[in-house]
Every structure is written in structure tokens, then in C-alpha cells.
Structure 1
Amino acid sequence: MNIHFRKMLKPEENVVEALNRWENDTKLVPLTRPNKDRVELESKRIITMEDLYQRLEFHEIYLIFVDDQLVGEMNYMVDPPHLFKRTEGTAWLGITIGESVGRGKGIGYQALSYLENEMKRNGLKRIELGVFEFNTTAQKLYQKLGYSEIGRVEAFTYYQDRMWADIRMEKLIK
């Protein structure tokens, strides 16, 4: 299994297709985006090339490949307004392993390690992320990588007929 990463410099049709597939995958939606209620949780979203151009203005986006198959994407933005702890030079991290073939094989660990090195190379000193309270698999991964909880945003997302918190975690880059 050959895992590699590539920074996305401009939108690509195949990436838009993959993002649309992942954005509307009923198993992924609860894990990747906050939803205020069942209607929003079950709603379909369409990502366009223009959406991806706009996203590239504020995010550094990296694609995750296993062999030659696109299996996920990861990204970060610097000092966004939704940080829990406002510390200048903080990267807000996001990752999606969209294809099932890429899950449960340590790819997320390798991808995040790679992205942390990219952030360090770009002079960032701190990383913050949010992970939904029910997503214990991701929480364990982040803890394994050295992230620690710094707070919670209660009643943040709807899933399984109730509201759940968003756990905010941080890691200092050394």
C-alpha cells in the first residue's frame, strides 16, 4: 500500500466529484459537518468548481492517495474566527478519509503527521481542531498524536436524535 499526499494548487474535476460523493455519504455526514437537526443532517449538498476555488483562498488543501486512488483530503486554515482559544499563528485542521478503503489502516495517522510537518515548515506553532463528542475513534487518533482537550461547545451538532458537543483539542508544534 503506497500512501502519498499532494498539495492541491487549483480545483480539479475529479476532486470536486469525490468531495460531492463524500459530502453526501450518509455514513460520513454526521462525522464531517455540524448539523442543527435531522433535516440538515439528511440534506444533500453540492460542491462546485467555484466553491473549491473559494475554499482554496482560505485553506491549504492536501489530497490523500492510496496507490493512485484518491481516498481523502486534509486541510488547514490560519487563525479562523471559530477558534476556541485565539492564539495568533494557530492552524485549524480538518481531515476526511472519504473512501472506505482508506479507513482503519493508519492512513489518518500518517496524513495528520504529514500535515503537521507542513504546518511546522510554514512557521505555525499551534494546531486546533474540533471533533464531535460521539466520534470516539477520531478522538483516540488525535490523543495518540498528542492532542489534548481544551474545551467543548455544547449542543453543537445533531446525530442519533440528540445534540452533541464539539470537543476542541489543541497541539503545540515543536
Structure 2
Amino acid sequence: MAKTTRATQALAKLGIGFTVHDYAYHADAHSIGLQAADALGEDPARVLKTLMAELDGKPVCAVLPSDREVSMKKLAAALGGKSAAMMKPADAERLTGYHVGGISPFGQKKHVPTVIEAAALDQPYVFINAGQRGLQLRLDPKDAQAALQATAAAIVA
């Protein structure tokens, strides 16, 4: 498994410290984020999932704990929109350049507005997908927010 991805390159270019961790990815897992947390031996609140959505027809990214669900209403409000909906997996892959199960908010083909769950910023560190199935980045959540130029807001249901 390659340890260098567009996500790791993007963070390195910004001078943000991180470590790379691999785990046994299971495509048939009910929740990829929860499976990653279990495989890494981490609290699911520290293993963040990346979801691609559409806000008033425009792409956006939501980063939140793997054991929580995103509130589309709160996501829309956080970015000043009216209505949000999950993006179709094929559209998310085409937009980000990553495969579902390996979508990272870092190093996407096109920068889109991003919201990170505010509660995640209270964690001493978080894991976020590194842009490849079975590969996670461990970093300071405030560094993640800065790298993504993300809005911090309560977006969980």
C-alpha cells in the first residue's frame, strides 16, 4: 500500500505534521468509519469520516466523527445555504478523485467548502482518511481545520 497520496502531499506542502496509519479495510463493513476506528483501536469520536454533499446544487464536504450522522439541515445552515443532500457516490468519486471508502478532504481535485464538526476540535488528535482505502492520517484537528480552510460548526444530528 502506498503511503504517499494526494492528501499526504497536500499536508506536507502546507508544513502540517501528521503520521500515516494503515489498517485492514473491509469493503463490506456496515460503517467504514467505525470499522477503521475498531481496526485502529481508537475511539470513534476521534476517527473522522469524510462525506461529500450538495448544498443548493453545489459540492461541499463534511468531516465528522465516524459514530455520528450528519444533519443536512445543520450542514446547510453552517454554510449559509438552504438545502443539502448527500452526493451520489459516483459523483463524489469523480469530483474528489478518490474512491468511496478512501475519500479524504485533503488533496481533492477541486477545493470545495468544508465543514468540520466543532466537537472534533476538542480532541487531542484525530484520524482522517489519507486518500486511500485502509489508510488514515493522524493529526491535530485544528491543523486539519486550517489545512481545509474549514468552517467549524455543530453539524451532527
Flag whether TM exceeds 0.5 (same fold): no
- Give the number of the structure whose alpha-carbon radius of gyration is greater: 1
Normalising by structure 2, we get a TM-score of 0.28
Normalising by structure 1, we get a TM-score of 0.26
Greater relative contact order (Cα < 8 A, sep 6+):
2
